[in-house]
Amino acid sequence: MKVYISADMEGITGVNHWDEVEHKKPTFYHQFQDRMTKEVLAACEGALDAGVKEIWVKDAHYSGRNILSEQLPKEVKLIRGWSGHPYSMVQELDSTFNALLMIGYHSMAGRGGNPLAHTMSSSKIDSIYINDQQTSEFFLHGNIAGKHKVPLVFVSGDAGLCEEVKDVSPNTICHATMVGVGDSTISIQPLESRNTIRNKVKESLSGDLSYCIWDHPKTYTLKIRFIKQQTAYRASHYLGAELIDSKTVSFSAKDYDDIMRFILFTV
């Protein structure tokens, strides 16, 4: 088996503040950089326990240069930085993978559930909808796995995200690292969280994974509500896009790749 792990940071156990996920704030960041690495390691160990032979890890937070490679097992290929490919947080994902797993993901823009809740860009995007469903980074990238018929078997992140996962993909196993309340987080302990990740990842990769493959609708309609009207006006000039109101742009496509391409060039 060959699996793909996409790792973000805002949903890592106990993360509470932007200072803790920004490399320019080393006093706070290093502790959580190490914790993120250890949660990815726990997922790798769970995958190896389940008999996985090859693991690709995408460091999918901010600079894409957070995970400490020395701590990961020899079966891992680590993708660092950003290629500019529209698949963004799941760059290189294709139908050769047997499963997708997400670590450290978080609640979507405009929702509670995490003090750092956002979708793709906290400075540009108010909210994203796909086929009228409000969309997180989990849903946005989960659809890429759906296109390639790769089962999305496991997600870890805040409890708000886990509610969304239950709704959208009920057979995906979820691990809640913390509950976000306003600007606070209430979290379990890191060691406990890692043990659960390892056990649940093993469980998620055992048995019939096909229950975690998403349907691919015939058409996708993306709506992005931007924070500024100027950004929306600019994006509305993308070929095929339409300005719905001063801050909202709509774009429809049959191929999901075109949806991700729109986001790459307008956000």
Site for Zn ion in 31-70 (CB under 5 A): 61
20 binding Zn ion? (CB under 5 A): no
How many CA atoms does the CB half-sphere of 241 hold within 13 Å?
A: 23
Q: How far is the CB of 10 from Zn ion (least distance, A)?
A: 5
Nearer to Zn ion, 10 or 158 (CB): 10
Which residue, 136, 159, 177, is CA-closest to 32?
Answer: 177
Q: 258 forms bridges with which residues in the sheet?
A: none
118 binding Zn ion? (CB under 5 A): no
8 binding Zn ion? (CB under 5 A): yes
Q: How far is the CB of 9 from Zn ion (least distance, A)?
A: 5
Interatomic CA distance for residues 230 and 2, integer angstroms = 43
137 binding Zn ion? (CB under 5 A): no
The torsion of the CA quartet 228, 234, 235, 240, rounded to 10 degrees, works out to: 140
111 binding Zn ion? (CB under 5 A): no
In this structure, what are the phi and psi dihedrals at residue 109, rounded to the nearest 5 degrees?
Answer: -55, 140
Q: How far is the CB of 61 from Zn ion (least distance, A)?
A: 4
Q: How far is the CB of 116 from Zn ion (least distance, A)?
A: 8
Q: How far is the CB of 21 from Zn ion (least distance, A)?
A: 6
In this structure, what are the phi and psi dihedrals at residue 132, rounded to the nearest 5 degrees?
Answer: 70, 5
| Residue of minimal Cβ distance to Zn ion | 61
198 binding Zn ion? (CB under 5 A): no
Identity (one letter) of the amino acid at 4?
Answer: Y
User: Which residues of this chain interact with Zn ion, rule CB under 5 A?
Assistant: 8-10, 61
